[in-house]
Structure 1
Amino acid sequence: MKKLIPFFFLIFIFNVGYCQLNFPQPDNIKTVILKPTTTNSYAPIIKLGENIQLTFDDLNADEHTYYYKIEHCDFDWTVSNLLESEFVNGYAEDRILDYENSFNTLQPFTNYTVTIPNENTELKISGNYIISVLNEDEQVVFKRAFVVYESKVTVGAAVYRSRDISTINSKQSIEFTINNSNFRINNPSEEIRPVILQNNNWQTAIMGLKPQFYRGTELLYKYNKETSFYGGNEFLYFDSKSIRNSSLNIVRAELEKGLYHTYLYTNEERINRPYTLFEDVNGNFIIRNLSSDTPNTDADYSWVHFSLSCLENLDGKDIYVSGSYNNWELNDLNKLTYNPKTGLYEVAILLKQGFYNYQYVTKNKAGYISNYDIDGSFHKTENDYTVLIYYKGFGNRYTQVIGVGFANSEKLNN
């Protein structure tokens, strides 16, 4: 049996709000989706050479001219010092030529699509990337982030129940191993930077981990407390594919002032209720229209009315409707306000037809985001976990992503 040689050093572990990835966008830009073109893939993480597609709607519906711009970033999402020719073949900036106006919708819009790589733009290296959409005046309209990786190391990840007795029923911990038998790493504690994501949400990413042990060509990260996430609860959901009718978790739909209004059943807090398993897509959403095979242009918009009955003491905290539908951002558009007439927390959000996952989260004045204040947290909750391995060798000019590992808490180890 090979001996495990421990590392002794101070470890810095922290959850990151990642302000660099909170990209504001104008009110006329809606339904921004950045994901791989492969089926059932939602996270903007691709292997070098694979396709990633950006789609969005402009509610001005004027066939506006837009451009895209690709930028390579360092580990902290600041733009790297590389020349464009060092990370892209062709052009890093070009016009978006694929666009089409909506058809038979009450809310007019123009739908835009661009796929990377294309005949004018091909990425050459791995790393963090930001794609910006610019207007005719070269002003940034909005941005999105994505990750490109190479398979230079193998990453094995697994989800464990917390070993801390105080959180054994509410937290999930990620342990992982990096096998670098085909890739030389001289100083792992300085050159390797792992990032762990729960449900591909950068708002609660964990980073700052150092390898605990060497075992041959393996780096072992056998943390528990430092790599633990609150499991939260299963995501809530609704399906507005038939926008004129009540359906899954929708109490009624009404036509008001030229647009449909979709009223959801009032959600009640689940913090003191037993865990119940039901299928979800871990915060993601799918645009679809029951009566059309081209939902990008034929799916309409409606004002979706959320309401929450909550008796918890939330002094000093704001409540938000959270999910990937708006890049997990918490802002005034998805913040609930208390209505003294109904005794409920309420908000209306303009959303395109489709199937949506969402959850209620709180944020305190210090910026801490909690997914358990309202709906509780259970170790049984099904969550996706992603481990990204960043590498920057001594003297290297940019940070690579040399491997990625995936795990799901459906297979939970004790």
Structure 2
Amino acid sequence: MRPGSSAGPGSAGPADPELDPGATYALDPRTVSRLLSRIRATTGETATTTAPFTGQVLAQVPVSTTDDVRAAFARARRAQRAWAETEMRQRTRLLLDLHDMVLDRQAEILDLIQWESGKARKHAFEEVAHVAMTARYYAFTAHRQLSDTRRLSWLPAVTSVRVNRLPKGVVGIISPWNYPFTMALSDGLPALVAGNAVVSKPASVTSLSALFGLELLAEAGLPDDVWQVVCGPGATVGAALVDIADYVCFTGSTRTGRAVATQAAHRLIGCSLELGGKNPMLVLRDAAVSRAAEGAVRACFSSAGQLCVSTERLYVADEIYDRFLDLFLRRIRAMRLAADFSFATDMGSLVSRAQLETVTAHVDDAVAKGATVLIGGRPRPDIGPLFYEPTVLAGVRPGMACHRDESFGPV
């Protein structure tokens, strides 16, 4: 469905769509209910999610408890034993089938990613392509990576050494809202092909994209209970997941990543952390200026700057500064911002009111302390409730919030 449409009210949520446009449901409640049924939650409590494009209600996402997390791990552990005994050929076949299904059903996936995250369609497609390529890569390399191998021993004539790779058990995954499809699935695919089970906690605000991916895995033949899902606050549900998992994959803020690392270290389990950044781009005097300007636009404004590798600082050599700036600003002026489902759109929305407030505060603070807005610098409610213009600031110095802290927006 497209922005502005309504499939009618669901079983919960705002009472009267005719009186409050924000109360209309953007997605078919039957589809939403089917996806949400995969979440293990017994509280009866829910969290409302809305579409960044329009403010329409998307879902009432069930909230899990620590008991739900323990129950999810118990089911996953039982299922993992049988899954680990399946032939490698069966597990790699699952990934190849998923690859084909993701590409075949990409239109549905793209719509869902855009509804939940507000990003432009071309940036949503990056997620589809990444999941498909990840599934294909591990399907074709799993045997080489996981097969037993011989190693030279210190007494070759007397002893032999063989390296056997065994599943960890149950892998816990905590995934973020900015790439709701790929980050929810891509860490789990190598875990599955290695014979592990998974318990994941996708971000509640974008959980439907993750759940659609798990539905595809089930259709591809993943046995029941091998992949469990919980949702809820990171401080309780996320912490409970780290307390039980045999290995943890976390993507999120640096502050929370430190807490996850500490918790994992206390338990002597492994973890992988993909955290925040304040990434610079250097444009040196011998750079191809036109290519650098084009690359800078992509680096700064893909997914409205809401990705951990987004460029938030530009350092340009004096010799080419004026030429680069002219080309850079010219390309930004040509960008198309829209709340639509067209591949022609260059930048979409921020994901939440909190993110819009952070970006606005960073720009306002910089301007108040002497920075100059070269382009952008304001919200665009005429396009959608959470849109902010692609923005370039000059004269940013230490002491300004955007100099030190990650803006995670189009700045």
* Structures share fold, TM-score greater than 0.5: no
The TM-score normalised by the length of structure 1 is 0.21
If asked which structure has higher relative contact order (CA below 8 Å, sep 6+), I would say: 1
